Amino acid sequence: MAYSKREFLGGEFGSQELSGRWDKIARNILDAGWERPTVTDKHFSEVISNFLNRWIAVKCGCRVLKLDLFNEMTHTPHLEWFSDRNAQTFGIDISKVVVLNAKKKFRGTPFFINGDIRELPFKDDSFDIVFSIGTLEHLRTQENAVFEVRRVLKHGGTAVIGVNNRNSMWLSPVLWETVEFLGICRRYCSYEPSLSPKDLEILLTKAGFTDIRLDGTYLYPKILRLFDVWSEIKCNNRATILKKAKMAVYSPTTKFFEALESWGGVNLFADMIMAIAKKPLA
């Protein structure tokens, strides 16, 4: 695992050490046999696409930066939503292994580099949109990264930030604490804390963002997500009966989650809290 809860709370890692730790996790995942998108992978991609359709208007040729390319390395390449709309796509990740494999899998012509989001290697006012999902919570302190997002955004540009929701109705923070305590999945993940919607709003306000709007995305309860990926890795092309049984359970619940999110009345209690914020024009 890249880091345990004890290590995470002990202080921030340097770029080189963090890179090495995430390289190790990326290699473990690539060697595990997770070769095809799972049920929850497909749902995750659909949910984020729907969210972006609701909130983001992409102009042809606009410049989009994504922080963290883990999704692009696996089976949920969210940045392709922007590429399909003729945006110029850029990405950065602390892991060299992730960057290399994200380049291989990405559909489009991206500019992916290895680097630290706490010190982005881009000039001021470089991007129209900066997109980050499931990344900031991996940092002991998020302030530097959020200030860097604001710095590289053009005036009037949009930041889209998604993090684990502390107020999740699926009680996901409790699951992550349990996974950490029991030492489960340590080859494939690291400790993940959560932020409340208010925490995220305060973080963005302190960095100088305005017009902050909060929404949420309903993913599968984490226990079902972990089982879905575990069964894919362990069974691969075998155990057809298990896969059919899993589909029988997951398919109707997918429709329920989609209906819940489209209603919107309880999205601040979704699994992931999403913020859309603007860098002031002046």
Q: How confident is the model at residue 63 (pLDDT cuts 50, 70, 90)?
A: very high
Segment 92-110, tens digit of pLDDT: 999 999 999 999 999 888 8
pLDDT at 15: 94
Of 251 and 126, the one with more pLDDT? 126
Instruction: Flag whether pLDDT at 237 surpasses 70.
Output: no
The per-residue pLDDT of the chain, averaged, comes to: 89
Instruction: Flag whether pLDDT at 184 surpasses 80.
Output: no
The DSSP code sequence of 146-198 is HHHHHHHEEEEEEEEEEEEBTT-TT-HHHHHHHHHHHTTTTTT------B-HH
- Residue 2's nearest CA partner among 180, 171, 126 is 180
Q: For the domain 5-31+41-219+268-278, what is the CATH superfamily, name and number? A: Vaccinia Virus protein VP39 (3.40.50.150)
Of 41 and 126, the one with more pLDDT? 126
Instruction: Please state the rounded mean pLDDT for residues 193-209.
Output: 96
Q: Which residue ranges make up each domain of the chain?
A: 5-31+41-219+268-278
Segment 64-100, tens digit of pLDDT: 999 999 999 999 999 999 999 999 999 999 999 999 9
**Angle 220-161-185 (CA atoms, 0-180°, nearest 5)?**
45
pLDDT at 11: 85
Instruction: Please state the rounded mean pLDDT for residues 235-256.
Output: 69
- The CA distance from 223 to 194, in Å, is 16
Least confident range of 44-58, 119-133, 166-180: 166-180
Quote the tokens at residue 68: 């963290």
Residue 77 CB burial class (10 angstroms; 0-12, 13-18, ≥19): buried
- The CA distance from 218 to 261, in Å, is 6
Segment 212-221, tens digit of pLDDT: 999 998 877 7
Least confident range of 128-142, 168-182, 226-240: 226-240
- The CA distance from 220 to 233, in Å, is 18
3-state secondary structure of 43: helix
- Residue 41's nearest CA partner among 83, 69, 74 is 74
